[in-house]
Amino acid sequence: MFSDKINQAYQSLNETDLSIVSVVTQNFNEIPKLGIERLSKMCNYSRTSILRTAKKLGFSGYAEMRNYIRWEIENNKSNSPTTIPTLETDVKQTLVELENTKHFDTIVDRIIANKRIFIYGTGEGQKNCANEIQRLFMQVGVYLFVIKASAEFQIIAKDLTKDDMVIVISLSGEIDRYKESIQLLKAKKIPLVSITTLSNNPLAANADYRLYAVSSSVLLNNAEAHVSFLTFYLLGECLFRRYIEKINLTLNG
């Protein structure tokens, strides 16, 4: 399976490789139809970068990787589908990415120290994740404010100070609808945390601290893609548990 190729090579993959792999897995069923130029535009990386990533995964080049994916899709059609290996891979890759980030403990320290924490989810699924993170921290008397809409985000951003922090949850990381709010946060030096899929995206580029969720897409009957928020919830749970660990260490130390 392609996911096995990723697991085997994971330790050798850099951020560029992981971004390309993320785009490939999110558009898995479309890859057999895509030339390298089209994929290059989707990834915002050069042909050379894609070829280098394909070779790290054990292929001679993009053509062989695309043929391998085509074979896997056709093979899966003739067998009973199972979602467990894909979900397991997503969870493992998200946890490995989390372990390798330099920002995780800093974000938790900010939650402990900052005056107010605001969370903005850019869509319905993202808002549900924000509400769950809010619920988790409410259990220990930490009250995070969930921003309901982009217009509300713009109003709140004007009132924030450097003692506050903002967490934005987004699948794509596109910031067109709330670009002014992001620019205002940067101008006021207000800490910004992004939680996005593993890709090169504008939100992560503008964030002070970045967390990445690996989430493979599933093609629906109407040819639209379903992307799971499972690993986004996982990141929220990890933040909460690390917060508890740090508080307990402080109390017992």
Classify residue 94: in a domain, yes or no: no
Angle, vertex CA 146, rays to CA 143 and CA 150, nearest 5: 155
The answer as to whether 14 is a domain residue is yes
Residue 93 lies inside a defined structural domain of this protein: no
59 shares its domain with 107: no
pLDDT of residue 81: 47
Instruction: Examine the domain organization and report whether 229 and 146 are in the same domain.
Output: yes
Show the domain range for 155: 99-252
> Are 39 and 111 contained in the same domain?
no
pLDDT reported for residue 77: 60
12-37 residues labelled b (16+ CB within 10 A) or e (exposed): ebeebbbbbbbbbbbbbebbeebebe
Confirm whether pTM is higher than 0.85: no
Domain of 57, CATH number, reads 1.10.10.10
Residue 196 inside a domain? The answer is yes
Is residue 75 located within the same domain as residue 121? Answer: no
In a domain, 35, yes or no: yes
What's the pLDDT at 6?
Answer: 84
Task: Provide the number of structural domains found in the chain.
Answer: 2
Tokens representing 167? 């967490």
- Same domain for 124 and 29, yes or no, is no
Question: Dihedral sign, CA of 95, 101, 104, 107?
Answer: negative
Residue 88 lies in a domain: no
Kindly state whether residues 113 and 189 are assigned to the same domain: yes
Q: 113 and 45, same structural domain?
A: no
Our CA angle for 17, 22, 24, nearest 5°, is 95
Same domain, 75 and 192: no
pLDDT for residue 217: 75
Residue where a domain stops, chosen among 37, 54, 81: 81
140 and 236 both lie in a single domain: yes
Q: Which token pair is 77?
A: 């059609």
Which residue carries 């002070």 as its tokens?
208
- Note the maximum CA span of the chain: 58
Last residue within a domain, chosen from 50, 81, 112:
81
Mean pLDDT by 10 residues, the chain (253 residues): 78 88 87 89 91 91 87 66 72 86 90 91 94 96 94 94 94 91 94 89 91 82 77 96 91 71
- Residue 12: the pLDDT is 87
Structural domain includes residue 67: yes
Angle between helical axes of 36-43 and 47-56 (0-180°, round to 10): 100
- Please report whether residue 51 resides in a domain: yes
**Domain match, 76 and 195 both:** no
Q: Are residues 106 and 215 in the same domain?
A: yes
Cα(191)–Cα(235) distance, rounded to whole angstroms? 18
Residue 239 token pair = 């933040």
Domain CATH number, residue 195: 3.40.50.10490
Task: Say yes or no: 64 and 110 in one domain.
Answer: no
